[in-house]
Chains A and B, each alone.
Chain A
C-alpha cells in the first residue's frame, strides 16, 4: 500500500462535497470537498505500489490546466486502471456541479 500527494493550481472552490465510487477490487472511491481558492490538493491511498509516475501523469492530464474548481480530494484506490480513475474523478466533479 502506498500514499501519494499532489497539488495543482485551480480556480474558485467547488461548491458541494461529494463521494463517488467504492473501494472494491479494480475500483476506487473519490472524496471531493471545497478547497482553498486557487489550490487543489490530492491525497491518494493505493493498494498497488510503484505507480507514482503513472498517477502523476494521469492527474497532471486532469488538473494541470487549472480549469477545474479548487478542491480537497481524497482517493482510496484498490487497483483501478487509469481509465477508471479518470472516470471517477470526472464523476465526482460532475456530481459537485449538480
Chain B
C-alpha cells in the first residue's frame, strides 16, 4: 500500500509530455512510425507570410502503430505551439490520417484512431482555413467511427476548445483528466461577447466547476476522468477500444438531450450540481 507521496513520485505525468512523447508512450513499444513528420517540413505557409516562427510539423504529430496489438493511428496536437490551434497543414494531417484509417477499414484493416486534443480551436492567423480543416476533421471522424471507435483524449494544460470541442463531441469515447477543460467558447470570448456578469473569465473555480474533466465525466459528456498518469491513460484507451463501437454515439442522442434541456430552469444560472441533476435523469 503506497502513500500519497510515493504514488505521486511513481506517476508518469501525461500532461508534461510533448505531443510526440505522448503518442510514442501510448502506442506499443517500438511500433510507432511518424508520418508527415518534421523532416517533411510542412511549415505553415500562412504563419511564414506573417513573419511568425513556424514549427516543422505545424503542431501535429501523426503516429501510426499498434495499441495492444491493434492497428492504431494517434493524432497528437502540440498544445505548446500556438496554443495547439488548428492551421491548414496540421489540421490536414489529422483529417488526412483519419481518412486513410477509414479507407483501411474499407479494405478490411480495422485501423482505429486516438486524437489528443490540446487545442484552443481555429488558429486565427489562418482563420477560414482553420475552420475549413476542422469541418474536414469532423467529416473524417464521422466516417471512421462507423467502423472502429475514434477516441478523444484531453489532458491539459490547454484543454479542448472551439471547433475542436465539437470534434471531440463526435468521438466514440472521450477521456479527460481533472486538469482538462472541454468547452466551446473560451472564458475570455464569452466575457467579450456576453459581458462579465454572464461569465467572469478570471473565475477559475467556475471554469473548472462547469467545464473541467471531473464535471464533464459526472454529467455524461465524457466517458472517463483519469489521473495524470501515462499508464492509466493507455490502459483506459485499451479498455474502451475493447468495448467496440457504442450502441449509439453521444452526438446521435438528440432526443435524450432535448428532453433533458426541457428540464433546465433558465430563470437562473445553473450550478455544477444543477447540471448533474438535469443530466442524471436519462441523458447519459
Contact = CB atoms under 8 A, between A and B. Distances in A.
A touches B (Cβ under 8 A): yes
Interface of A: 1, 17, 19, 22-24, 27, 29, 31, 33, 45-47, 74, 76-78
Contacts, number: 43
A33 B38 CA distance: 11
Contact of B55 (A1, A17, A23, A46): A23
A24 B82 CA distance: 7
Contact of B53 (A17, A31, A78): A78
Interface residues of B, number: 16
Interface in B30-45: 37-39
Contacts of B53: 1, 23, 45-47, 76-78
Contacts of A31: 38-39, 56
Contacts of A78: 53
Contact of A1 (B18, B20, B39, B51): B51
14 contacts: A1-B51, A17-B39, A19-B20, A23-B53, A23-B81, A29-B56, A31-B38, A31-B56, A47-B53, A74-B56, A76-B53, A76-B54, A76-B56, A77-B53
Main SS of chain B's interface residues? loop
- Most chain B beta-carbon neighbours within 10 Å: one of A17, A19, A33, A74: A19
B78 interface: yes
Interface in B117-148: none
B73 to A, nearest CB: 19
A1 B55 CA distance: 14
Contacts of A77: 53
B80 interface: yes
Interface string B46-61: 0000011111110000
Contact of A29 (B51, B52, B55, B82): B55
A64 to B, nearest CB: 26
